[in-house]
């Protein structure tokens, strides 16, 4: 099993334990300001390709990069994950689109 697969299984087990009240959830902090332009630059993708690869609209990406709006809630955390390992996130999304998700 790949490292990504092992991490996903561990995360699922942790989520189950949290749901059962066996452990307390970790407090996650996603900063209010996310530099979407820098995250996209690390992927090497155009705005259009970035939007298509990660499930955003082109207008969202443009608005975030031009500071007309900012990503809210879980989208900030999702963008942080993309910034950390864009290839792993893209692979997971591709697997789920092809029906191979666990």
Q: How would you classify residue 29: left for phi > 0, otherwise alpha for psi between -120 and 50, otherwise beta?
A: beta
Percent of the chain with pLDDT over 90: 50
**Which comes out higher in pLDDT, residue 14 or 29?**
14
pTM: 0.66
**Which comes out higher in pLDDT, residue 67 or 101?**
67
Confidence bin at 67 (pLDDT 50/70/90): very high
């Amino acid at each position: 099993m790949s490292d990504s697969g092992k991490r996903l299984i561990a995360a699922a087990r942790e989520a189950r334990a949290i749901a059962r009240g066996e452990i307390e959830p970790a407090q996650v902090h996603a900063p209010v300001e996310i530099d979407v332009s820098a995250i996209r630059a690390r992927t090497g993708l155009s705005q259009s390709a970035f939007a298509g690869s990660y499930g955003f609209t082109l207008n969202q990406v443009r608005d975030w990069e031009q500071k007309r709006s900012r990503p809210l809630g879980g989208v900030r955390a999702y963008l942080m994950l993309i910034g950390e390992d864009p290839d792993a996130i893209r692979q997971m999304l591709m697997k789920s689109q092809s029906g191979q998700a666990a």
